[in-house]
Amino acid sequence: MLILAVVVVTVAAGVSLGLLASDGGDGAPVGSAQGQSSAGAVEGSSPTASKTPSPTPTRSYPLSRTPRTIPAVRAHTPARGPGWQPEKGQRVVVSDGDLADEGRLLAGELGLTYAGEKDDVRAGDVRLALNDDEGADPESYSMTVRGGRVTISGPADAGVFYGTRTLKQEVHGGGTAPEGVVRDEPAKPVRGLMLDIARKHFTAGWIEDRVRELGDLKYNQLGLHFSDDQGFRIASDSHPEIVSREHLTKAQVKRIVDLAASRHITVVPEIDSPGHLGAVIAAHPDLQLRNAQGVATRGAVDISDPDAAEIVDDLLNEYADLFPGGQWHLGGDEYQALTVSDPEASFPQLARAATEAYGSGAGVADLTTGWLNDRADTVRAHDKTPRAWNDGFFAGTSVQADKDIQVAYWTGKEIGARLPAEYLSAGRKVINYNDEFLYYVLGQPLTFVYPTGQRIYEQWTPLVVRGTQAVPAKYDDQILGGSFAVWCDLANSQTEAQVAAGIRMPLRATVQKLWDPGKPELSWTEFKALGDRLD
């Protein structure tokens, strides 16, 4: 309910107007409006009635309402006052030089002047500041709108950036940032979009547009799956022979990575192995896995051949500097040697290699797990935290996947896929890619249907890791977050523009559920209308 309060201000001739307002929640007055002349304050008074009480001018400010943004802010302390709107000539200032990039970006977006580090205070200022809130989430921030000014502060530049995204949404389309204090932070540290740029070539400009969209929605990861059977889509110096005709140059990738960094988004590359390496095999057919009858296995390299490991490690090492973020996706899923009824009989060379490496009881699943661990060693040497698809982790093997390899849980349909609780009870950290809700598969092959924002908004939470059932809440801290995923199985089914339109509301619904753990206050109809208004 909107609570109205009237603030009465008595104005004497020749004295400038000062609007007093209630406490904004942190001990200081809010809603002051300075610099108005008495001439503007005595409207309606009679100049000939000086000996009789003149009508007292009043201004009414209702208690401010919580701003409506995507994702929704976690807490807002309302106050009475005019709020803030951007006007030409106003400044964005910073209290710390580390926030210069955030300040320049916001100033450019709102048509303000970036004034750099300043200690003085002017009407209309937006100030960005770092605070010394030790132990706080580095992605948290507070935003105070008071007296015609805005202050956004946080323990790290990421949080301050997210505060600027909130302000940008508040004033979008002529809106007003409401008086009061926003205190906000994400529920989950991983909020991602994964793009399959291997099966379908996406232009650099299109990917950059997605980066800007993700930044405004407070996403912090962009996955690039750039190697698969259908294509290898980034230029390579170590193995140029494997690169597809349509691909991104390293300069283009660097621009994408730099743009993402400016939005506090980490780009997470994926070279999937030992399956899904068809583009590599096309240039190196001798590496392809063959069964006992000599029949080739699609997309799979022979992991008993040291040359297969060498070429994959060459690529992992080559791209480590191109992607300076601390995350790497190793794939590990759908190795076709493990889809047959008796892998050891079908692939005797793999069986021999397993026993030679891990003892007489070892099998093909052990050898495949050893491959995953070896690739994890390669990226770990570059200070990357590895992750792999959940069906790349096997039960009942003597060789166990390294404990620090995060589980990218996508499905329960694949051979080897187990219930999420099995990974969680073993202490593993999980990222939710639930294919029931978060998989946008071009052409809708098999049983896939395009996910809707409404279904995500109304039915999915980060605890719903597989299918439609949630895991016990006791595992909440182990679920790092989630990622929406675009897969291009039937690459020509949609254009770039159609993909962008198709994932627009699902992306907004997904981040709402990753940022705020509570049930959304808005109905889906209201949320969709908000999304339409903010675009």
End position of a domain, from candidates 184, 213, 236 = 184
When pLDDT is cut at 50, 70 and 90, the band that residue 44 belongs to is very low
Say how far apart CA 349 and CA 287 lie, in whole Å: 13
**DSSP H helical ranges for 111-199:** 157-170
Per the domain annotation, does 273 fall within a domain? yes
Give the angle 382-409-466 at the CA atoms, nearest 5°. Answer: 165
**407 shares its domain with 508:** yes
Instruction: Provide the β-strand partners of residue 93.
Output: 116, 127
End position of a domain, from candidates 161, 184, 207 = 184
What is the share, in percent, of the chain residues with pLDDT greater than 70? Answer: 89
Whole-number pLDDT of residue 20: 29
**152 shares its domain with 203:** no
**92 shares its domain with 233:** no
Q: Write down the residue that tokens 């051979």 correspond to.
A: 415
Model confidence pLDDT, tens digit, residues 506-530: 999 999 999 999 999 999 999 999 9
Nearest to 499 by CA among 190, 191, 209, 69: 209
Q: What is the pTM of this model?
A: 0.88
Contact in structure between 423 and 416 (CB atoms under 8 Å): no
| Structural domain boundaries, residue 123 | 75-184
Say how far apart CA 131 and CA 147 lie, in whole Å: 21
**432 shares its domain with 489:** yes
Model confidence pLDDT, tens digit, residues 372-407: 999 999 999 999 999 999 999 999 999 999 999 999
Per the domain annotation, does 261 fall within a domain? yes
What is the CA 132 to chain-centroid distance, rounded? 25
**208 shares its domain with 328:** yes
Whether cis (ω within 30° of 0) applies to the bond prior to 71 is: yes
Say how far apart CA 71 and CA 169 lie, in whole Å: 10
**333 shares its domain with 255:** yes
Contact in structure between 211 and 222 (CB atoms under 8 Å): yes
Domain of 451, CATH number, reads 3.20.20.80
Model confidence pLDDT, tens digit, residues 84-134: 999 999 999 999 999 999 999 999 999 999 999 999 999 999 999 999 988
**401 shares its domain with 504:** yes
What is the share, in percent, of the chain residues with pLDDT greater than 90? Answer: 87
Model confidence pLDDT, tens digit, residues 159-195: 999 999 999 999 999 999 999 999 999 999 999 999 9
Per the domain annotation, does 318 fall within a domain? yes
Task: Report CA Rg, the chain.
Answer: 28
Say how far apart CA 230 and CA 277 lie, in whole Å: 9
SS3 of 460-478: CCCCCCECCECCCHHHHHH
Whole-number pLDDT of residue 13: 33
Say how far apart CA 366 and CA 398 lie, in whole Å: 6
Q: Is the pLDDT of residue 201 over 50?
A: yes
Model confidence pLDDT, tens digit, residues 267-288: 999 999 999 999 999 999 999 9
**169 shares its domain with 268:** no
Q: Is the pLDDT of residue 57 over 60?
A: no
Per the domain annotation, does 100 fall within a domain? yes
End position of a domain, from candidates 152, 184, 216 = 184
Per the domain annotation, does 279 fall within a domain? yes
Domain of 174, CATH number, reads 3.30.379.10
- How many domains is the chain built from? 2
Taking residues 260-270, report their average pLDDT. 98
Nearest to 210 by CA among 529, 406, 497: 497
Identify whether 334 is a catalytic site residue. yes
Whole-number pLDDT of residue 133: 87
**126 shares its domain with 200:** no
**159 shares its domain with 256:** no
Taking residues 456-478, report their average pLDDT. 98
**120 shares its domain with 238:** no
Say how far apart CA 450 and CA 490 lie, in whole Å: 13
Per the domain annotation, does 62 fall within a domain? no
Per the domain annotation, does 43 fall within a domain? no
- Kindly report the average pLDDT of the chain as a whole number: 90
Whole-number pLDDT of residue 134: 84
Say how far apart CA 507 and CA 483 lie, in whole Å: 9
Selecting among 102, 185, 334, 436, the annotated active-site residue is: 334
Taking residues 288-296, report their average pLDDT. 97
**286 shares its domain with 429:** yes
